[in-house]
Amino acid sequence: MPEAVPCALCGRPFAPGQLTRHHCLPREKGGTQEHVERICRQCHGMIHAPYTNETLAAVYPDIENLRKAPELQGYMRWVRRQPPTRHKRNRPRKKKI
């Protein structure tokens, strides 16, 4: 059985095949393979729900800044208490930041 790998954002353990590739610095803004983090689908959806690629590139170009994002703090407290099997659909925002 493959060893569990933590999501780079929430830290919950997942099998390697369950993690997605998130370009912290979006490819359209010059991101390369160096700017990729492995995160769970729940976190990936939550990152893209409130933010445009322009905001991600300008304000949150790395995983450390994303962990400190004020819009994600409530989500981070919630998701860390959830089992890795839990997946809740993230509601898209009408107006992204």
Q: Are strands 19-23 and 13-14 parallel, antiparallel or unpaired?
A: unpaired
Residue range 24-38: mean pLDDT, rounded:
85
Would you say residue 1 has pLDDT above 60?
no
Dihedral sign, Cα of residue 8, residue 81, residue 93, residue 67 = negative
Q: Are 31 and 24 in contact (CB under 8 A)?
A: yes
Burial letters 22-39, b for 16+ CB under 10 A, else e: bbbbbeeeebeeebbbbb
Would you say residue 80 has pLDDT above 80?
yes
What is the pTM (predicted TM-score) of this model? 0.85
Residue range 48-53: mean pLDDT, rounded:
90
The pLDDT value recorded for residue 30 is: 79
Show Cβ contacts of residue 77 under 8 Å, excluding neighbours closer than 6 positions. Answer: none
The pLDDT value recorded for residue 89 is: 67
Domain extents for the chain? 5-79
The pLDDT value recorded for residue 14 is: 95
CATH 1.10.30 fits 5-79, yes or no: yes
Q: Which of 41, 36, 89 is nearest to 63 (CA)?
A: 36
Residue range 73-96: mean pLDDT, rounded:
82
